[in-house]
Each structure stands twice: as C-alpha cells, then as structure tokens.
Amino acid sequence: MVLEEELDLTKNLIDKELHNLFEGKFGYQDRIFESIKYSLFTGGKRIRPILLLKICELFRGNYHTAMPFALAIEMIHTYSLIHDDLPAMDDDDFRRGKLTNHKVFGEAIAILSGDGLLNLAFETMLDYSLKNSNTLDEYKRNIRAAYEIARYAGIFGMIGGQVVDLLSNEINMDNDKLMYMYEAKTAALIQASVVAGTILGEGDEDDIQRMREFGLYLGLAYQIRDDILDEKEDRLVDKVTYLSFNKLDKAKKMVNHLSQKAFEILNYYEDRDVEFLTKLVEFLVHRDY
Amino acid sequence: MVLEEELDLTKNLIDKELHNLFEGKFGYQDRIFESIKYSLFTGGKRIRPILLLKICELFRGNYHTAMPFALAIEMIHTYSLIHDDLPAMDDDDFRRGKLTNHKVFGEAIAILSGDGLLNLAFETMLDYSLKNSNTLDEYKRNIRAAYEIARYAGIFGMIGGQVVDLLSNEINMDNDKLMYMYEAKTAALIQASVVAGTILGEGDEDDIQRMREFGLYLGLAYQIRDDILDEKEDRLVDKVTYLSFNKLDKAKKMVNHLSQKAFEILNYYEDRDVEFLTKLVEFLVHRDY
C-alpha cells in the first residue's frame, strides 16, 4: 500500500460527498453557498475525516456508515479556520496560498459562513441518524458519535482552547496551560475523529478508551512537531509555543515519546490491518513541511 | 390564568436550567463562560423556548421531556444576536439597554461565544437524547426534534435569511424576496420551536404540519407588526421593510389575516387547554412596544 495513493483515494471520496451536499441547492442566499464551498475546497488534506473513516474501517471492515460524520468533522474544522482568520482573531489574509474567506466575501459573510458550516455539520449528522437508524443500537451509536464530536468541538474542547490561545501571552502562560491549550485546540478534533470512528465501527468501551488516548497522543505530537517546524517564524512574532518552555531537544524527545505511545495503541490491533494508520501517524508526526 | 404570571413562571424555570448548564464549570477558558452567561441573561423574554414547552404541554399534558430542546432554541437565538451585533454585521453597541457582548468582551470573544453557544445547543440536545431515550420511538422523537431545530437554524433557514438581509438594499429587494427573508430570518426559529414542541409532545404528522403553519403565520405576523411599530425609525435609516412595498393599512390587514390563521389552528385544539397559547399569540401580534 502506498500511503499517498490511499490518502488521495479517500480524500476524493470525501470531496465528492462534500460537493453533493450543495448539489441542486440554490436560493436567495446563494452567496453563502459560494462562500462555504470556497473555504471547503481550498486544498485541505482532510486528515480528520480520513482518520474517522479509517478508524471505523479498522473495527468494522468498512466505513459506509461513517461518511456523514466524516463530513461533519471537516465542516467543523473548516468553520474554525474561517473564524480564526477573521480580523478580530488572527487577521490572516492568506491560507494555503489562497485569500482567506473574509478577504473574498467580506467579514459578515465569513462570520455567517462559519456559523452555517457548524450548523450544517449537525444537520448532516442528525439527518443521517434519523434516516438510517433501524435499531436502538444503531441510534445509540450514531447519536453517541455526534455527541462526542459536539463535545470535543465546543467550549469544553476546541473553542475552549481557542479562548485560551486568544487570551494568552508570555506573561500569563505556563507549560501546564499550554498543554491544556494544545489538548483542547488541536488534539480535541483529532480525538473526536478517532472516537467517533470507533463508535461507528462498533468498537467496545475499551476500544473507545484506547482510541481516545491514541487521539490525544497523536494530536499533541502533531502540534509539538508543528512548533518545531515553525520555530524560527514563531520566534519572530513572539508566539508562545512548546519551545517557549522547553528546549528543542526536549521537544523532539516529546514528539517521539507521544508518537511511540500512539504506535503502541495501534500495535494492540496488529491482528487487523493497521498498515495505513501506522503510515499515516508516521507521516503526521515526522512530516517536514 | 394571567398571561404575565404564566410567562414569568415558565421563564424562571428556563432561566434556572440555563444557569445549571454552567454550574461548577470552570477552567482556563472561564472568560467564555462569563461572556456566554452575560448574553444569555440580558433580559430576553424567552418567547421561543416558552412556545416550545407550551406546545409540548398542549399535546402531552406536560413538558418534562422538552426542556433541553427549549434551552437549545434559546442558545441558538442568543448566539444569533451576539453575531448580529458585531461591527462587521449590524454594529450595535446596545441591546435591551445593555452593552452588546463585543463591547464588553471584545470582538474575538464575542465571535467565539456565538460559536460556543451554537455548539452547546447541539451538545445539550444530543447529551439528553443519548441519556434519556429508552425506546426506538423516544430516540426518533428526540433526534427528529433536534434535526428540525438544526434545519430551521441553518443556511436553509435563519442563517439563509440573515444572508439575504445583509446583501439586500432598496434596489435589489422586492416583496417576494422580503417575504422569504422574513420567513427564514424570523419565522424559522419560531417554527422550529413549535414543531419541536409538537414532536416531543408526541403529536402526529397532521399536528406537526398544522404547527409548522402556525409557526409561519405567527412568525410573519410578529415581524410585520414589528415593522409597523418601528415605521418611523426604519424610515430614518432607509431600512427595507414590509412597509417599503405595502401601505400601512395593508400591513395592518396582513397582521390581522396572519394572526387569524394562527388562531384558527389553535381553535382546532379547542377541546384542550389553549388559553395560554391564545393569549400569548394575542400578546405577540398586538404588542405595542
């Protein structure tokens, strides 16, 4: 298996389904459909939905039942980027080499597009759950997956982390608070993806707990790896990162330690096909771009 | 029954439950809890959650199972006001005589507080549905109610209406587009409330359809009544309203016509206790403040 090929294949499936959401939809509010599609299709790697689908596949053998939840995770990720880029937040003009949403559509439409995407994520999960749950167990799985995603995305998860990020500076920040911020801001949506994937894949309570930890290790490793890659840039703008409190060598060791813990959890499932997931984790924590 | 007493009693119950959501919650992200509570408790009349509870009661005799959905509707209404007031949107400094959220907490926290409230609305409904659905039918009712709320709140409902409002001016607006905007922007959340209330109250498909229409009539009557009350103010700022395309006399007739249609639907249930709902509709469409 070539990782890039499998990533592309899954990404294309996700992109097709994301397109389908807006197929034949038009009305007086067309401008928000345009704006949402603009941001959904600006070259995202679809890491979170791919993780959700592939973890579901690990447990269930396929990911047919997980697609609406994968789309929801990507919509939530995209809305958070649109709002993050706003002038009142990070004030970014470019993302992935393209103009940010508010630079193209204006701030008001950017705010409403973010709101619309977050709302659409839940509409999509609820609509699917309503139409595709034939037994009490199916309902429970679908609603539990949606709830986990909601919880990790909200004020006790990702949004909570963004608040801490926003209000933090070199003076009021310390390593504990930074680790909370990384857990909430970065790891939470990755945990949401793998936990929802496990639930939808009919994993048991132990599997769910294992994957909750796997997501945390992966998310933190990914974020600290990011700090290492962006070290020079971040120092120029006085950004508080893991490297503000820890030496480079310590940071590298931490990335290795965290990814080791993630691999250990994958190894627990070595009698199944974990090749793709193992390669994906390697790719995410050892990427050099 | 004195309407004001019954409104107060129900409002107090709702407020207590809204407070409970944040009871014992603290963390590095405390600031967003403060900000959300500030906006949740700035004197809202709780019309939408009261409608949801009271419609549920009409069908089921009580509203025990509907409270989390009522809270969700109020959270969605409140988030939409926080985002509406932002400088990039309506740029309002005051709401109900108090400083708007972004004037107190800053724009960034206001954006995140809106996001957080919208997310929390779904967390609340999903959490309840997960813990309190013992039969397949209960699951279906809870998830269908949550889905209706999501749909009416999103880009095909309230947010869609906000987009039209934002992009409209005297030149590109006409009466049809205005009526779409009123339906989406104002009536949608009222429809969401009464439809969710009917579903949770175990009304049948005919009841749901009737209440969907009831919500539309009530929402439109409420909005046009608003236009009549604010006529002078709106003319000063060249706001496009129902009165831009229709004479005052026609507007008053339309409010009467719509409220008559709403009353007809309530009369269909005259063998039940519709006194409160009848008085509430009268209060909403004949209010003179």
pLDDT in tens, B171-221: 899 999 999 999 999 999 999 999 999 999 999 999 999 999 999 999 999
How far apart, in whole angstroms, are the C-alpha atoms of residue B215 and residue B213?
A: 5
> What's the pLDDT band for B29 if we cut at 50, 70, 90?
very high
Quote the CATH superfamily of domain A3-286. Farnesyl Diphosphate Synthase (1.10.600.10)
Average pLDDT of chain A is 95
Tell which of A103, A163, A182, A240 to mutate to test the B interface (max B CBs under 10 Å).
Answer: A163
Average of per-residue pLDDT across B62-71:
95
- Cβ of residue A118 closer than 8 Å to a chain B Cβ: yes
Q: Is B174 on the interface with A (CB under 8 A)?
A: no
CA A28 to chain CA centroid, Å, is 31
The torsion defined by the Cα of B218, B223, B225 and B231, in degrees rounded to 10, comes to 180
Residue to test with chain A: of B22, B23, B26, B29, most A Cβ within 10 A: B29
> What ipTM did this prediction achieve?
0.97
- pLDDT band at residue B287, thresholds of 50, 70 and 90? low
What's the CA gap between A166 and A160, in Å, rounded? 10
**Candidates B32, B140, B164; nearest CB to A160:** B32
The per-residue pLDDT for B31 is 97
- CA–CA distance, B56 with B199 (Å, rounded to integer): 8
Q: Is pLDDT above 60 for B289?
A: no
For residues A239 and A283, is the Cβ–Cβ distance under 8 A? no
Q: Which of residues 175-194 of A touch B (CB under 8 A)?
A: 177, 180-181, 184
Q: Which residue in A123, A125, A195 has the most chain B C-beta atoms within 10 A of its own C-beta, making it the best mutation to test that interface?
A: A123
- Euclidean distance between CA atoms B124 and B129, whole angstroms: 9
Rounded CA-CA distance B149/B41 in Å is 22
Tell whether the model's pLDDT for residue A144 goes beyond 80.
yes
CB of B81 within 8 Å of any CB in chain A? no
% of chain A exceeding 70 in pLDDT: 99
The band of A200, judged by pLDDT with boundaries at 50, 70 and 90, is very high
pLDDT bucket at B288, cuts 50 / 70 / 90: low
**With the C-alpha atoms ordered A154, A156, A160, A161, is the resulting torsion angle positive or negative?**
negative
**Are B198 and B55 a contacting pair, CB within 8 Å?**
yes
Q: What is the predicted pLDDT for the residue at B130?
A: 96
**Domain residue ranges in chain A:** 3-286
**B1 — pLDDT class (breaks 50, 70, 90):** confident
Question: Residue B126: left (phi > 0), alpha (psi -120 to 50), or beta?
Answer: alpha
- A227-231, B99-103, B104-108: segment of lowest average pLDDT: A227-231
- Six token digits for residue A23: 């197929």
Contact status of A204 with chain B (Cβ, < 8 Å): no
Whole-number Å distance between alpha carbons of B276 and B4: 10
Average pLDDT over residues B161-174: 93
Q: What is the pLDDT of residue B43?
A: 85
B167 vs A: CB within 8 A: yes
Instruction: Kindly state the average pLDDT of the residues B23-51.
Output: 95
In this prediction, residue A1 carries a pLDDT of 82
CB of A11 closer than 8 Å to CB of A41:
no
User: How large is the average pLDDT for residues A47-66?
Assistant: 96
Q: Given this model, what pLDDT does residue B75 score?
A: 98
**Cβ–Cβ below 8 Å for A29 and B153:** no
pLDDT of residue A287: 65
The pLDDT of B121-127, averaged and rounded, is 98
Q: What is the pLDDT of residue A288?
A: 59
State the Cα–Cα distance between residues A34 and A37, nearest whole angstrom: 5
Mean per-residue pLDDT for B97-109? 97
Helix pair A158-167, B107-131: axis angle to 10 deg? 160
The model's pTM is: 0.97
Mean per-residue pLDDT over chain B, rounded: 95
A–B: how many Cβ contacts below 8 A? Answer: 168
The reply to whether A108 touches chain B by the CB within 8 Å rule is yes
Torsion sign (Cα): B213, B218, B221, B227: negative
Quick one: pLDDT band at residue B238, thresholds 50, 70, 90? confident
Over range B217-246, report the average pLDDT. 94
User: B179: exposed, middle or buried (C-beta count within 10 Å: 0-12, 13-18, 19+)?
Assistant: middle
Tokens of residue A204, six digits: 């048991």
Q: Between residues A157 and A285, which one has the greater pLDDT?
A: A157
Question: How far from B6 is each of A178, A252, A274, B19, CA to CA, in Å?
Answer: 48, 63, 60, 20
Among A29, A159, A162, select the one facing B155 at the smallest CB separation: A29
Mean pLDDT of B8-16: 97
How far B273 CA sits from the closest chain A CA (Å)? 31
- Helix or strand run (H / E) with residue B144: helix B136-153
d(CA B13, CA B1): 18
> What is the Cα–Cα distance from B111 to B128, expressed in whole angstroms?
26
Tokens of B145: 């109610």
Instruction: Determine the residue of chain A that is closest to B31 in CA distance.
Output: A163
Cα separation, B153 vs B160, in Å, equals 9
Confidence tier at A112 by pLDDT (50, 70, 90)? very high
Q: What is the rounded distance in angstroms from the CA atom of residue B217 to the CA atom of residue B210?
A: 11
